[in-house]
Every structure is written in C-alpha cells, then in structure tokens.
Amino acid sequence: MPQDLKAIYRNGTFILQIAFELPEGTEVELLIQSPQVVSPPIADVETKREFLKALVERMQQNPISMDAPQFTRDMLHECR
C-alpha cells in the first residue's frame, strides 16, 4: 500500500522528516514538489539579453491593475 513520506533534499541525499523503517534495498518512487520554479541558467550573453528584453516587454504589456486585490503575507505563504 502506498505511503506518503516527506523528505528534504540536502547534499545529494533525501532526508525523511519522520522516522520510517524500510527493508534494505526497498525501491521507492519520488514525486518532486518544488517550492519554486528554477529555470536553467542562460550562459550565452546575447540569449540572456534577448530573454530579459522579452520578459520586460511582456510585463509592460500586462501591467497589474491599480485596483487589483492586495495579497497579505499569510495569503502568500498559505500551505496547501
């Protein structure tokens, strides 16, 4: 029967957040739920320049309305 376990990835190792005994050699399947989206670094200077220019243009084309709802700190850090 599947069991949900939480772990933190640190220094190449998944560290369980609760004690849990598994027989040696047990195969597990991991579902990664990253708290942030991290894009791969853009090494080429010209590609990075083009990316940032396009990003700024998209932001300017889609401004946040002055009457948009304000989020509180608690709303932004709400757990699922």
Write the DSSP string, 14-62: EEESS-----TT---------SS--PPP---HHHHHHHHHHHHHHHHHS
**Helix or strand or coil: residue 13?**
strand
Beta bridge partners of 10: 13
- Reduced to 3 states (helix: H, G, I; strand: E, B; else coil), residue 64 is coil
The pTM assigned to this predicted structure is 0.39
The 10s digit of each residue's pLDDT in 23-71 is 899 888 888 877 676 777 888 999 999 999 999 999 999 998 889 888 8
